[in-house]
Structure 1
Amino acid sequence: MKNIFNSYQIKSWIKSSALALTLSFAFSCQDALQEDVISQIGNDYLNTASGFQDGVNAAYTSLRSWYGTERGNNFTEFGTDIYTNGADGSWKFMNTYTNQFDSQNGHVRELWDELYSGINTANAVIDRSANVTGVSEAIKKQRLAEVKFIRAHHYFLLVQLFGPVDLQLSENKVPNKKVTRAPVAAIYDAIVADLQAAIPDLEAVKASNQFGRVTRPTAQNLLAKVFITRATSEAAKPTDFASAEPLLKSVINDYGFRLLSSYSEVHQFGNERNDELIWSIQYTRDPLTNGGGNNSHVFFLMEYDVQAGMRRDTQNGRPFKRYRLTPYALNTVFADRVNDSRYKESFIDVYFSNRPGTFNTSFDLSKPTVTFALGDTAIYIPGFEMPLAERAKKKYQVLVPSRYDERLFPGLKKHLDPGRADLTQFEGGRSYPAMRLGETYLLLAESLLKQGKVAEATEAINMVRRRAAFPGKQAAMEITPAQMTMDFLMEERARELTGEQFRWLDLKRWGVLVERVKLHNAQAAPNIQPFHVLRPIPQNQIDRAEDGITAFPQNTGY
């Protein structure tokens, strides 16, 4: 299968009096890199066949502002019940909810600008499509459906994060300072309309032969999640949960997706294209065309590289020590490690020595020194409080929970990228899995449970749980309808989806963000307030509004 993102363009600008589009890649059916610099193009370029295609491609580029980035992870992993901050980084206030998290926040400003740039690109492609020549009507309809999906996707993020935002559904050809905050209901109506219009014109396939393109099941999956999210918002409609159900069942049944046979395969390096993947954001190994890259590989790792017998390498990753599991996540969410493989398959439990020699111990004081040959076990993280006498018998250091701190903790291995060029490279090249069937089953369980269809919801969640079982433990992993509650579903999504840019949005959707952070995140608990269910509007957006804060007021509390 060809990868549409394998043929990238060097980042360039289309500049005209009417349009500014960032082009970071071009779609192609070829696997070889084709670098084309597009610049100094007139205002009518978008009306040509090549300009139309480049405009669509530019809209796709804006997806990289969210998936696999530090800002996307900070917005979704920090300040939740399952992740708190590690030792390093300047964004800890996004976990602790201090007054540093304000309208001058760089992540807020960058994300806002990138998403609206993507929206205006989509608007330009849609508005000008009637004048495009040299493109078949079938392809034109498909590409317009793709950019409508992207526009809906961006507004869905914006409305969840910021509440009422400016709703622009036509191209801004010149700078526009006349903006208002549209009602949440109007934004959801526009999102639903875009996705419903897009679905019939998208490819009805599991994956496009140009890998990474939006397909019909991609849009169905997003629309179902929109309905489920709107159902708990101020714009809720009584049919929302019921509307999601057939869309999710279609994704599960109609395209050939399947849960992979073991959880260990889902995020396995080199298995980025698989039968469970519904949609992914593509990155590349070429430094000229990878932009900022997929950076998720650095944020979830502990400080292994200064420990006895270890040095940094590409296999074990570059440890930024940003996110570490809360005690609740370790002791409750991932409590079952006998039947459920997801703790074992999600977190690093062993490091093998890549620096032979004899060393003084540091965190494991059950022995004074350790000696390693190349490839020997250097660090073992059992996940339980191994007795001191037992640790003393080991020829390596044992990291037990009582010694976890902001530098030493079980690191998430889902995003490891040993394919990087060297041990310092930040710009990873793995594609980012934005949608996969495991989450689709959990969304289906949620929609069914909210409709009172408890037995069906139980079967949907058991599909995920049976797959997550260690061999021979499938029956032990099944739950009964009596156990099928929202509390159970909340923890099941944490087990299945930890570190995949969902958790903050999940907690906000369920209306339990403040409650669960106060209960389970000690660093965030003292400061989080009810107003933190929305993020601050960036100050530069308020400043550039024609009537300033009167026309575009700040969210309460900021």
Structure 2
Amino acid sequence: MKKLAKNINYWAKSTALILGLSAAVSCDGFLEEDVISNIGDDYLNTPKGMNDGINSAYSSMRAWYGTERGNNLTIFGTDIFTNGADGSYKYMNTYTNQFDSRVNHLQELWDEFYRGINTCNAVIDRSVNLTGISQELIDQRVAEAKFIRAHHYFILVQLFGGVDLQLSETILPTKEVTRSSVADIYAAIIKDLEEAIPNLEAEAKSDDYGRATRPAAEHLLGRVYITKATSEAAEASDYANAEPLLQSVIDNYGLVLLPDFADVHAFGNEINDEVIWSVQYTRDPLTNGGGNNSHVFFLMEYDVQPGMQRDTENGRPFKRYKSTDYTLNTIFADRVNDSRYKNTYVDHFLSNNPGTFNTTFDKSKATVTYAQGDTTIWLPGYNMSEAERAKYPYQVLTPELYTERLFPPMKKHKDPGRVDRTQFEGGRDYIAMRLADTYLLLAESQFRQGKIGDATENINAVRRRAAFPGKEAEMEISEADLTFEFITEERARELIGEQTRWLDLKRWGILVERVRAHNPSEAKTNIQDYHTLRPIPQNQIDRAEGNASAFPQNPGY
């Protein structure tokens, strides 16, 4: 099984911005500004050109998954994470006026997604001229382009509301753009996915791993309907439309929940039977773009503590995201039956820097001495007296000692395969869709339709898998236990750190209230109703004919 990422040909990033200009890559690898027609007329109409074009469109997924911008836009400013000590982008958590239309994350995501969209448009439009290739393969590549285009517009409409809806190739530069309605964007997304599904590979794992498949498109369309159901474009049938799509993903493609929750994100196990679709990264710097960077953001400052130094196993700690008290004390309150706290957070460190040291945070003892491999820090997850901590020959980090630098680090994204301890460009695939999420979305769609028994069973399928061995029965809930609040918490337990939370809170209509209730930062007082949309990038407004009158900014910014 080969991976799609190894086949990405970077010439094909010659896709247009919304104003029609393109960042084309010349044969020597340097960026050149050009219009897509200069390359496309000679190449994109060929079988190889079409294949390289769609591979390039896949690479635009790397603007979102596993990146600093994708994580900051979905992890920060929620109820389950707040900012750690790292100073970068804290305003995205605290909702200060620094988070405005000039933020580079917004501009980069906008531009990269529209480049990807225009590549998809070119592949779709030019497919009718192809010869020397089977119609079946043409239909599959067009379906992949529609999957990618639908994905990008789905992210954009959730973040920004109405955006410019471009469904044909931009060949010549233009500044004539408008903000389409949310309803029109959802209609285009649904049409793309409905047309794509029959022509995508009906296998969970493509032979060319990383390509969109039928279950990936069904999962995405199911989530689209569930999200649309609480948007201004909502229709009464949305939850009912989502249900059979999500059920099909569970029933028809051989996907299964892994028996052990710990294995889902285990290093080296990125290709497994629970993964519906992932974004491909590599260890080759020539084909890895900026890499999967998620490994740095969820870690505490372990590397300056007694007995420790930074290494690839424990990671490069940016100290960006710190779990809130609500997360640790409510979401993960059950640590007897539920394995997900144990398998989500690092609870101890082993010495890689032996010697005798003065203690830092745990003053129950004056010094500590470690041999190689000794425990240096233990995070029990509960408080204990100083006298009890003094019994241990290492530092004990209890909740009362947590700070913006010292807190339970999350291990889902750790990447010990990096070439050295400072490397930012990780090489792990980013799991964008997995079966546990499908079960939870299906349960939510059924709950909203009043099918409480079916919804409870689907929640229990996820919970039984999450149980410690022998605790499966204790993890099951009854129909009376299933409430909307329970669904919000179960999604946090299962999907924490997987770029879903801000989007979930927004679609549920509870972002503002949850941030005010559970995020301990300035966000409590700063967040306002208008923060449920992100600011339109200023460079997009500036390059529109008529500027803000033609492409208005979202309210509040």
| TM-score, length basis structure 1 | 0.96
Letter in 2 for 1:463: A
Q: Where does structure 2 lack aligned partners over 5 or more consecutive residues?
A: 33-37
CA distance in 2, matches of 1:201, 1:380: 52
- Pairwise CA distance, 1:36: 9.8
- Pairwise CA distance, 1:22: 5.7
Correspondent of 2:466 among 464, 468, 479: 468
Counterpart position of 2:406: 408
Deviations 1:473-519 (A, max 9, x none): 10110001011111000000000000000000000010000000000
Q: Please show how residues 30-429 of structure 1 align to structure 2 within 5 Å.
A: 41=39, 43-429=41-427
1:408 and 1:263, CA in 2 relative to 1: closer, same or farther beyond 3 A?
Answer: same
CA distance in 1, matches of 2:444, 2:528: 27
Counterpart position of 1:539: 538
Deviations 1:290-329 (A, max 9, x none): 1100000000000000000000000000000000001100
1:177 and 1:231, CA in 2 relative to 1: closer, same or farther beyond 3 A?
Answer: same
Q: What's the secondary structure of 2:301's corresponding residue? A: coil
Counterpart position of 2:504: 506
CA distance in 2, matches of 1:7, 1:125: 17
CA distance in 1, matches of 2:315, 2:503: 27
Whether the 8 Å contact between 2:24 and 2:31 is mirrored in structure 1 is no
The percentage of aligned residue pairs carrying the same residue is 66
CA distance in 2, matches of 1:186, 1:12: 29
Whether the 8 Å contact between 1:19 and 1:43 is mirrored in structure 2 is no
Whether the 8 Å contact between 2:143 and 2:195 is mirrored in structure 1 is yes
Counterpart position of 2:5: 5
Whether the 8 Å contact between 1:68 and 1:432 is mirrored in structure 2 is yes
Letter in 1 for 2:287: T
- Pairwise CA distance, 1:388: 1.6
CA distance in 2, matches of 1:152, 1:12: 20
1:514 and 1:37, CA in 2 relative to 1: closer, same or farther beyond 3 A?
Answer: closer
- Pairwise CA distance, 1:42: 6.2
Deviations 1:187-238 (A, max 9, x none): 0000000000000000001110111000000000000000000000010011
Q: What's the secondary structure of 1:545's corresponding residue? A: coil
Deviations 1:456-477 (A, max 9, x none): 1000000000000001110110
Deviations 1:44-75 (A, max 9, x none): 21111111111111111100000000000000
Whether the 8 Å contact between 1:46 and 1:132 is mirrored in structure 2 is no
Whether the 8 Å contact between 2:15 and 2:119 is mirrored in structure 1 is no
CA distance in 1, matches of 2:203, 2:228: 27
Aligned residues: 548
1:15 and 1:375, CA in 2 relative to 1: closer, same or farther beyond 3 A?
Answer: closer
CA distance in 1, matches of 2:530, 2:30: 45
CA distance in 1, matches of 2:243, 2:23: 37
Counterpart position of 1:31: none
Q: What's the secondary structure of 2:356's corresponding residue? A: strand
Letter in 2 for 1:545: A
Q: Where does structure 1 lack aligned partners over 5 or more consecutive residues?
A: 25-34
Deviations 1:433-466 (A, max 9, x none): 0000010000001000000000110000000000
Whether the 8 Å contact between 1:302 and 1:320 is mirrored in structure 2 is yes
Letter in 2 for 1:6: K
1:22 and 1:405, CA in 2 relative to 1: closer, same or farther beyond 3 A?
Answer: farther
Deviations 1:154-184 (A, max 9, x none): 0000000000111110111012211111110
Whether the 8 Å contact between 1:21 and 1:121 is mirrored in structure 2 is no
Q: What's the secondary structure of 2:349's corresponding residue? A: strand
Please state if 1:459 is matched with 2:476: no
CA distance in 2, matches of 1:431, 1:453: 36
Q: What's the secondary structure of 1:76's corresponding residue? A: coil
- Pairwise CA distance, 1:37: 10
CA distance in 1, matches of 2:451, 2:15: 54
Q: What's the secondary structure of 2:534's corresponding residue? A: coil
In angstroms, what is the RMSD of aligned CA positions? 1.8
CA distance in 2, matches of 1:12, 1:451: 45
Letter in 2 for 1:49: P
Letter in 2 for 1:551: A
- Pairwise CA distance, 1:350: 0.4
Counterpart position of 2:35: none
- Pairwise CA distance, 1:3: 1.6
Deviations 1:6-54 (A, max 9, x none): 3444667559999846679xxxxxxxxxx99999846321111111111
Task: Single out whichever of 225-234 and 387-396 deviates more from structure 2.
Answer: 387-396
